[in-house]
Structure 1
Amino acid sequence: MILTVTPDPSLDRTYEVPSPARGRVLRADGERVAPGGKGVNVSLAAAAAGVRTTAVLPLGGAPGVLLAELLGARGVDVTAVSIAGRTRSNIALAEPDGTRTEIDLPGPALSPEESALLLDTVRSAAAEASWVACCGGLPPGLGPRWCADLVARAHAAGARTVLDTPGPALHGALAARPEVIHSDASELAAAVGRPLPTLGDVVKAAEELRELGAGAVLASLGGDGRLLVSAEGAHHGAAPAPAGRGDAAADGASLAGFLIAGGTGPGALASALAHGTAAVRLPGGAMPSPADLRPDRVRVTDDPPLDLQLADPGTP
């Protein structure tokens, strides 16, 4: 079972509108309401693949109730931690040409008691999990050591951990030795304090994080594929995908694919690419089923082109 933890989940509302203009009344052609958050997307992708998954979420107010209902309808078990604050709602305006304008609201602050209860809930739920994936930023009230405490509790329950969180929370958790860090080029560049213009630079940055405690680093490089750096060495993979497309759903599907395939080695990297590129081809944030995967299109090598210039070198 894959257990996901999303400390700052959201209810995402997307409105289909003509080209927006400031100061005018816009009439939407349609509305989509969906559960949001990095960990939530991992659980949605795992459920679509037929893998048992539980999402641990701090939820409050009517948006929290609706978020849990939407996840349940898509096959995700929800373990809710009740909070006094109201789960945030994000708004996106989608134009016919694919342009999106997003308004992300801040999440509710968690009290010390709610923060502790969230950790205790993870510890209890992790007893049945093979992996615990903590994904996304931290809301107010959770300090930079919170992720380290989560890793320690997951390990105590016998589960392996993957972290996909930026900033001080990432550095604070490395000493707890998470098995996998999942990141993109910008987050890796920020973690090491310098741009990463080539694939070789990403490999070096990943090795630095491993020296600080990460077991492996899985890096998402957009159109330049994905890189896995672990005790087995560096592996790079790529697969064709529609140009210019990529979203949070695809990243969640990619991480889910990695964990479904065991979370280690080139086979898991290939699975990550197959799931991620399949999600990119689907409309409206849909997650791929096994029938959507095209593993024959994935190429993985243990001889990465270290001089490859990356389209996104990241910014520290």
Structure 2
Amino acid sequence: MILTVTPNPSLDRTYEIPDLERGEVLRATGERMDPGGKGVNVSLAVAAAGHRTVAVMPLGGAPGGLVAELLEGEGVEVAPVRIVGVTRSNIALAERDGTLTKINAPGPRLTAAESRALLAAVLEHSSSVSWIVCSGSLPLGLTPAWYAELVTRAHEWGARIAVDTSGPSLLAALPARPDVVKPNADELAEAVGRPLATVGDAVKAAEELRSLGAATVLASLGADGQLLVSDAGVHYGAAPVSAVRSNVGAGDASLAGFLAAGGEGPDALAAAVAHGAAAVQLPGSVMPTPSDLDTAAVQVTADVPLDRVLTEQGSPR
């Protein structure tokens, strides 16, 4: 069972429009609502693969109730922490040419009592978990050190923990020695403070994160594949993708596949690559099911193409 922690979940509303014309009244041709947040996506992917998952998150107001309802409809067990504030609603405008414009709200401010209640909820549901996953941005009221505290607590509870965040929150979590961190190319570059031009640059950056405390680094390099850097060495995985429909949540699907496959070694990397490749070929933030995976197309090797130039070069923000 995989438990996810999403400190700043959202209700995501997507409107399909012909074109985005500033200052005009636009008529949507379609709309949908989805539960949002990186940890939420991981839980959705785990549930889609047929595994048990519990999603711990602060929820408030009508949008929070809708998030819980939508998740439960997808087979995700929700462990809500009730808050005074209202769960944020994000807006996405999807044009017919594939352009996506997103407006992400900051979310509610959590009180000190709500922060403690969130940690208590994780503890309450952590007794039989294989992994704890903490993902995404932190809401107002929580400092970057909150993730570090969660990592420390998880180890005290005897659980393995994966962290998927960026910026100060990622750097603050590293000294607490998370079992897995999962940056993308931009987040990896931001963490080490320099641009990444090649796969070799990404390997060096991942090794730096390990020197700061991460046991394993699973790095998503977009169209250029994925890296797994751990005590067992460096492995590289990739799979062909016929057409990219949406990369929203692809990294979350990769992390779900990696952890569901054990969270270590080349086989888990292959599962991560298969899940990520499947996710980008699905619309919106739809998570892949086992029938969407093409595991035969995945190639994993210890012969890492260090000189390969990154198509989507990571740059410090």
Same fold (TM over 0.5): yes
Name the counterpart of 1:78: 78
Say whether residues 1:36 and 2:36 are aligned partners. Answer: yes
Q: CA deviation at 1:243?
A: 4.4
Q: CA deviation at 1:249?
A: 2.3
CA contact (8 A) 2:4 2:39 kept: yes
Q: CA deviation at 1:313?
A: 2.2
CA contact (8 A) 1:64 1:86 kept: yes
Structure 2 gap segments, 5+ residues each: none
TM-score by length of 1: 0.97
> In 1, Cα distance between the equivalents of 2:286 and 2:168?
32
Name the counterpart of 1:104: 104
> In 2, Cα distance between the equivalents of 1:285 and 1:148?
28
Q: CA deviation at 1:245?
A: 4.4
> In 1, Cα distance between the equivalents of 2:307 and 2:290?
34
Counterpart secondary structure, 2:237: strand
CA contact (8 A) 2:92 2:103 kept: yes
Name the counterpart of 1:90: 90
Name the counterpart of 1:181: 181
> In 1, Cα distance between the equivalents of 2:124 and 2:310?
42
CA contact (8 A) 1:242 1:280 kept: no
RMSD of aligned Cα (Å): 1.1
> In 1, Cα distance between the equivalents of 2:285 and 2:149?
32
> In 2, Cα distance between the equivalents of 1:214 and 1:245?
32
> In 1, Cα distance between the equivalents of 2:23 and 2:282?
34
Name the counterpart of 1:264: 264
Name the counterpart of 2:250: 250
Say whether residues 1:133 and 2:133 are aligned partners. Answer: yes
List 4+ stretches of structure 1 deviating above 6 A.
Answer: none
Structure 1 gap segments, 5+ residues each: none
Q: CA deviation at 1:34?
A: 0.3
Identity %: 63
Pairwise mapping of residues 144-223 of structure 1 onto structure 2 (< 5 A)?
144-223=144-223
Count of equivalent residues: 316
> In 2, Cα distance between the equivalents of 1:282 and 1:64?
26
1:128-168 residue CA offsets vs partner (Å, 9 max, x unmatched): 21100000011111112111110112112221000001111
Say whether residues 1:232 and 2:238 are aligned partners. Answer: no
CA contact (8 A) 2:91 2:103 kept: yes
TM-score by length of 2: 0.97
The residue type equivalent to 2:85 in the other structure is G
Counterpart secondary structure, 1:311: strand
Tell which deviates more after alignment, 254-263 or 242-251: 242-251
The residue type equivalent to 1:11 in the other structure is L
Q: CA deviation at 1:117?
A: 1.0
> In 2, Cα distance between the equivalents of 1:77 and 1:160?
20
